[in-house]
Amino acid sequence: MLPTVPIKCPHKKMNLIWFSQRPDPCPDLKQPICGNKYVTYDSPCVLCLESLKSHGRIKFYHDGRC
């Protein structure tokens, strides 16, 4: 089992828990990345936002699809 890694987001920390949609701050970057809950995100940017929304409970697991 790979260790999970906390996300260091380049974005300013903000409370996005209220936002139910899945925004993509980097629409031109398509680089699948796997989170610790075995969910594949379209890019590190999307994983970063999901990590912020979950208050750090969602973390990086490995590059590529889950």
- pLDDT for 2-59, tens place per residue? 565 555 665 555 455 555 555 566 767 788 999 998 999 988 888 888 888 888 888 8
Q: Please answer whether residues 64 and 34 qualify as being in contact, where contact means their C-beta atoms are separated by less than 8 angstroms.
A: yes
Q: Give the model's pLDDT for residue 22.
A: 57
| pTM for this prediction | 0.65
Give pLDDT, residue 39: 94
Mean pLDDT, range 57-65, rounded to an integer: 91
Is residue 35 within 8 Å of residue 58, measured between CB atoms? yes
Question: Is 31:6 a contact under the CB 8 Å cutoff?
Answer: no
**DSSP reduced 3-state for 8:** coil
